[in-house]
Structure 1
Amino acid sequence: MRKVVLITGASSGVGLALCRRLLKEDDELHLCLACRNLSKAEAVRDALLASHPTAEVSIVQVDVSSLPSVFRASKELKQRFQRLDYVYLNAGIMPNPRLNIKALFRGLFSRKVIHMFSTAEGLLTQNDKITADGLQEVFETNVFGHFILGLYSSVVCPGTMLTNITYGILPPLIWTLIMPIIWLLRFFANAFTLTPDNGTEALVWLFHQKPESLNPLVKYLSATNGFGSNYVTSRKMDLDEDIAEKFYQNLLELEKRIRVTIQKTDTQS
C-alpha cells in the first residue's frame, strides 16, 4: 500500500525540494500537494510525474491564511484518503521583509555576530496585515492555519536559506557580494544551509523516524558544515511549559470562536 504524504506550500522553495527528495527516497509514494495557486501546483505535479512516473501526485487547493479554505480542504482530504501517513506543514509567509541596517551594523561589532547572521534575529522587519478572518496574516498563515488541523507534530528548522522570500530582502548585487562571507561562516555556524535542498535534511530524516521515538520538546535542525555536507542536529526548545500551556489553551479558545463564526456565515449564505 502506498504511503500518503501531504505537503503544504509544495509549489516552491523547501516544499518543492522536499517533494523531490522524498520521491528519491521512495518513488512509490502518493504525494498530495496542498497549495494556494492551482496552476503552479499543476505544473509541479506534471514535473514530478515526468521524473518519477511510478509515483502518484495529487493536488488539494488550500490557502492557510483563510480558515474557511483550511476547513474545506480538510473535508476534501477526509473524503479522498483513508489516512495520511505523513503531513509536512511547510507553508508560510514573510510579507515585504526589509533589512534593519542599524541592527546590522550594531551586530557586526558585537559578540553575537554569528548568532545574528545564523538566526536573523533583529535584522528583519515585515509589514503584517489583517485577514478576512480578523487575524494577523503572518500568525494565521504560519501558525493558526496549521494549528486548527489538530495534529501533533515535530518542530523542524531548515536553517538559513536563499529562497524567493529571502532574495527580496537585498538587491541581487549585494547577495552576490556577501555570498563568499556566508560560505565562510559555515565553518563557524552550521545553520547556513543556503539552498532549499539542504534545508530539507531534517524533514527527510523525520520521514524515516518512528513518531513515538521523537521528543515533542526537541527541535530538529537541518545543518550544513563548511565542506557542504548535510546532517541533522537537535536542540531542546527553550520554553516555559506553563506559558506554552496557556498559549495552547488560548489557541483552542480562538479555534472555537472561529468555528462558530464560520458556521454562522455558512448558514447565512
Structure 2
Amino acid sequence: MENTVLERSIVIFVNVVFSEGVRILSTGWGVLNHINETTPEGLQEIFATNLFGHFVMVRELEDCLGKAQETQIIWTSSQNANSDDFSYTDVQHRNGREPYSSSKYATDVVSVAFNDRLNKKGIYSVTTCPGLVMSNLTLGILPAWVWFLVMPFIFFMRLFVGSLTCSAYNAAEALIYVTKQKCESLNPRIKYCSLCSVLGRPYVGEEKLNIDEKDADDLYNQLETLYQGFKLMYRNSKTITTQGHVTEMRNGFKARSEDELDNEAHNGYQNGIH
C-alpha cells in the first residue's frame, strides 16, 4: 500500500530534522515546496503573487507617494529567501524547484532598487521578515495536530533559532518597529527580522543584504519591461462585464484615442453595463 502524503511528510521531517533541523526551522528550507502554476496571463503564479503584483502596485501609485510627507514601502520578505535559488536569467523561476525562495530573494532585491530610485521623491523602501508563523503555509507542510505536538520543542529551539515567532503578534514586531522609525534612519540593505526569545518576548534583529546595485538595476529593468508590456496590452484591450460574464474586446481599440475609450466606458456605465 502506498504511503499517504501525511506519512511521507512525517518521514521526511524525521529523517532530516537532526541533520538540517536548525536550517529547516529558521528558513523553511526543503519543505516550502509549492506547485508553481501559470496564471491566465502567462506568468508564474508565485512570482506574480509574491513579487510582480506588488511591483505593479507601487509603480501605479508612485506619483501619489512622497508628496505631502515621507512614504514608506515595507516589503514582507522571508528568511527562506536564498540567492542560490534565484537567477537573473530566469526571474520567474520557470526552471527551478524553489519558487518561493526565489520570489522572496527577488523581493529583497527589488526593495533595494526602489529605495535607490525613489529616495529623491521622499519614498523609502525597506524589507522585513516575520519569521516562522503558524499559517496556511505551515499547515500545508504538516497538519495542525502535528504542529501542536512539536510546539514545546519549537519553543525550546528558540534558544538557538530566534525566528520561531509562531504567532502573528510576534511576527508583526519588525513591521511595527520600522513604521515607528524615521524613514531616513533605516538601512535599505538591512532586512529587519521579527525574532522571539525562549520566554516568548518578541524583538527585532537585523540581517545584512548583500545585494549589488547593478543586480538590483537589472531585476528592476526586467520587471519594468514586463510592467510596460502589460500596460500596453491592457490599454489596447477593453474588458466589460455584463451580467457576470466577461467579454474581452481587442480589435478596433488599438487605433482609438484614450479619450474615446474613456467616453465609451462612461456611456457603457450610463447604459447599465457594469
Regarding TM over 0.5, the answer is yes
Matches of 1:180 and 1:100, distance apart in 2? 20
Partner of 1:160: 132
Amino acid in the other structure paired with 1:263: R
Deviation digits for residues 16-65 of structure 1, max 9, x if unmatched?
xxxxxxxxxxxxxxxxxxxxxxxxxxxxxxxxxxxxxxxxxxxxxxxxxx
TM normalised by structure 1 equals: 0.58
Residues 228-267 of structure 1 mapped to structure 2, 5 A cutoff: 228-266=200-238
**How many residues get paired?**
171
Larger C-alpha radius of gyration, 1 or 2?
2
Alpha carbons 1:223, 1:231 under 8 Å: kept: yes
Matches of 2:136 and 2:13, distance apart in 1? 21
Distance 1:219 1:100, change over 3 A: farther
Matches of 1:203 and 1:163, distance apart in 2? 17
Amino acid in the other structure paired with 1:120: G
Deviation digits for residues 172-228 of structure 1, max 9, x if unmatched?
221121111111111111000000111000111111111111111110001101011
Matches of 1:108 and 1:129, distance apart in 2? 29
Residues 1-269 of structure 1 mapped to structure 2, 5 A cutoff: 104-105=13-14, 107-110=16-19, 112-148=20-56, 149-150=58-59, 152=114, 153-266=125-238, 268=249
Amino acid in the other structure paired with 2:52: F
Structure 2 gap ranges (5+) = 1-7, 60-72, 74-113, 115-124, 240-248, 251-274
For the aligned residues, what is the CA RMSD?
A: 2.3
Amino acid in the other structure paired with 1:229: R
Percent identical residues: 36
Alpha carbons 1:218, 1:237 under 8 Å: kept: yes
Amino acid in the other structure paired with 1:113: G
Matches of 2:179 and 2:146, distance apart in 1? 36
Amino acid in the other structure paired with 1:206: V
Distance 1:172 1:262, change over 3 A: same
Matches of 2:222 and 2:12, distance apart in 1? 33
Matches of 2:14 and 2:47, distance apart in 1? 29
Matches of 1:242 and 1:227, distance apart in 2? 42
Matches of 2:18 and 2:225, distance apart in 1? 44
Matches of 1:200 and 1:227, distance apart in 2? 17
Partner of 2:79: none
Amino acid in the other structure paired with 1:117: L
TM normalised by structure 2 equals: 0.57
- The alpha carbon displacement at 1:245 in A equals 2.2
